[in-house]
Structure 1
Amino acid sequence: MHISEIFYSLQGEGVLTGVPSVFIRTAGCNLSCPWCDTRHAWSREDAAVWSVDKLLDAVARWPQARHCVVTGGEPTLQPELPELTRRLHAAGLHVTIETNATRLPPDGLVCDLASLSPKLMAAGSGAPPPDPDVLRAWLWRGEHQLKLVCSGPGERREILALQEALGADLAPGRLLLMPLTLSDPDASRRCREAVAQLCLEHGFRYATRLHLDLFGGRRGA
């Protein structure tokens, strides 16, 4: 597998925020979102090639961790992903897959939490619009969360349309809005306030980035 990094930290996003976890960050992505805070994982050029055995040995260095997060990049681009998840789960670990949800879940995948982050058109990512059929294929696997990066009211219509399209397949309380991270502090504050207001108006869940608050943007944290 092409691996950008592996490290132990606190989960910074979503319903498991604050949970100590081992992160396996795969290299290579099929998107190039302008706000991405892990651009170093876009390309495989500087990535190391790890066997599944080697990854399991590395994860075992943190025996106190009961959660493992496979992220990217885009982990579904890795053919060995199903084997990795099966073996992590067999080792007693809770497995989260963080995906942009542009690709169907591969056969044989074991996933305790599907963390889905499709990209909104209004946010200017240049990514294809969220595909409800692909999203449902992930939602039907069980525990899930839908994390949408947004800047505020400009994405309201798109978010509500996606929520309606998914209907009862999306579990209650599992649509999370995460404000854009902006370089200008005042603009970033206004964005957070706008997203918070959107959550209050429609009952969405507000998502922070705990890892950025604690560790900044440095790698391996």
Structure 2
Amino acid sequence: SNLEFDIQELRYTTGLQLANKLRHCQEITLYNDLFIDDNKIFSTFPESLFFPDHYIFSHIRSLDLLGEFLNMNNIFLITFVEQIIRRSPNLQSIGFFLYWVENMTDLVLDFLRPLKKYLKQIKKCYLYTEGDIDEKFLSELANLFPSLTLLSVKVDWYCNTAEVVNLCLVNMKHLIHLEMVLEDIPDYLDEDYIDRIKMEKEIESLAMTRDIQEWLKRNTLLGKISSNKIFRAEKTGNDLKIWL
């Protein structure tokens, strides 16, 4: 079963009440609908919200964060998620489905850093937000999730597709499945240099659609992997999927 919790309403419940709901839960979604002043509301963690010591949530497989978070690096959110991860030995997936805030990928890293020692069990990460998917971000994400086998990520229009693929291959040693949603260039951008980028992206998209396997071999490190290791890829619309 899937349980959804409004992060603001969690403050008005107790750890025992939540623990009883989580005992048979497989998926958890924490969401926040409104921009709020996180520093004021989430600067402390109520003692009443700690789970009883004997509760272990063996059924939980995934945890998702959904909505708008001005500041993810707050005591309340990190403490609550740390509890869930520590009590859930079979948790393998974490997802971020976050509305736009400037430098949102940096905020995700801010959130994950204090949890690093509890993230070794995570094998799947879903990241759908705004921000730079670059070497700095992917190398640190790989360090935080050393056991990652699946990464599903939205790639903003200004990011280089081949470079993102290469960075994932270099940094994520156990990766066997890479999913990318390639964002279109927004119509409201009409500067001259954008026109050039649009043309380059259109040419790239046509080549990828014609033969995605060949495009990946020519433009990424997948063309240099040993002949006895075969990869498979498909592209449908803006969705690119690679199996290693």
How does the TM-score come out when normalised to structure 1?
0.46
Q: Specify which structure has the bigger relative contact order, considering alpha-carbon pairs within 8 angstroms and separated by 6 or more residues.
A: 1
How does the TM-score come out when normalised to structure 2?
0.42
Which structure is larger by alpha-carbon Rg, 1 or 2?
2
| Larger relative helix fraction | 2
